[in-house]
Amino acid sequence: MATQGSPFNPRLRSERFSGQIAIALFRIAQGVQVMVRRSGQALGLSPAQTQALLFLAYARPGVHTIGGLAQRLQATMATASEVADALERKGLVVREPRPEDHRIIGLRLTGAGRRRAADLEGMLDDLEAAVAELPPDDQEHLHRILQHIVRRMVEKRLVVVYEMCWGCAFFRPMAHPDDPAAPHHCAFMDAPLPDAHTYTECPDFTPRAEVSA
């Protein structure tokens, strides 16, 4: 079966826009890697440790485990455990058994870990600033295009997307109005949700548009 040729080949790339766009996205990905690496290095963290701190700061508490970290890093359980070990030695993370199942070891940021995660929050500022220079209509168009590309990469299991509940097909807002501690409901887990958890990122997020009515 004939192929179009690699977009890394400048001559072949010049003949089609899809190859030029693929290389542009590749260069952006390289730039993001540099941002992550530099931000982490300034705080004495590896790229994996940097991602782990942000995961523990913003993902829903239910996935704060070695398995959850492995999924977020797209790494093996052994690698995720090594990352957690390193952060624990630095006093940024503690391990604690889950009360509902002591075989599952949860991960929790310490006060120092939360402060270190907060120090990492600005690492994409330059990227966002570049996007913000575009007119609003172009930003909206770009968002739709990138969402399409991300969905295709998810289908190929190249990336794992975490988003908050409010755009998820499984989210049922105010399904339990008489329960102030957990007024919402997750149909995926079939469990009540505290309001605070709906503003965290979840690996089970499924856009409403992808689920037929």
Domain of 23: which CATH number? 1.10.10.10
Structure confidence by residue, pLDDT tens digits, 119-161 = 999 999 999 999 999 999 999 999 999 989 998 998 898 888 8
Q: How far apart are CA 112 and CA 116, in angstroms?
A: 6
Mean predicted lDDT score pLDDT of the chain: 90
Q: Is residue 70 included in any domain, yes or no?
A: yes
**What does the DSSP 8-state code read for residue 92?**
S
Q: Is the pLDDT of residue 200 over 50?
A: yes
Q: Is residue 51 included in any domain, yes or no?
A: yes
Structure confidence by residue, pLDDT tens digits, 31-50 = 999 999 999 999 999 999 99
Confidence of residue 2 (pLDDT cuts 50, 70, 90): very low
Q: Is residue 52 included in any domain, yes or no?
A: yes
Q: Is residue 1 included in any domain, yes or no?
A: no
- pLDDT for res 12: 84
Confidence of residue 1 (pLDDT cuts 50, 70, 90): very low
Q: Is residue 141 included in any domain, yes or no?
A: yes
3-class secondary-structure state, position 188: coil
Together in a domain, 72 and 171: no
Q: Is residue 34 included in any domain, yes or no?
A: yes
Together in a domain, 94 and 127: yes
Confidence of residue 211 (pLDDT cuts 50, 70, 90): low
Together in a domain, 18 and 87: yes
Together in a domain, 88 and 193: no
Instruction: Provide the domain count of the chain.
Output: 2
Q: Rounded to a whole number, what is the distance in angstroms from the first to the last CA of the chain?
A: 39
Q: Is residue 171 included in any domain, yes or no?
A: yes
Together in a domain, 118 and 170: no
Together in a domain, 44 and 136: yes
Q: Is the pLDDT of residue 190 over 60?
A: yes
Mean pLDDT of 68-80: 94
Together in a domain, 144 and 173: no
Q: Is residue 44 included in any domain, yes or no?
A: yes
What's the domain range around 75?
A: 10-149
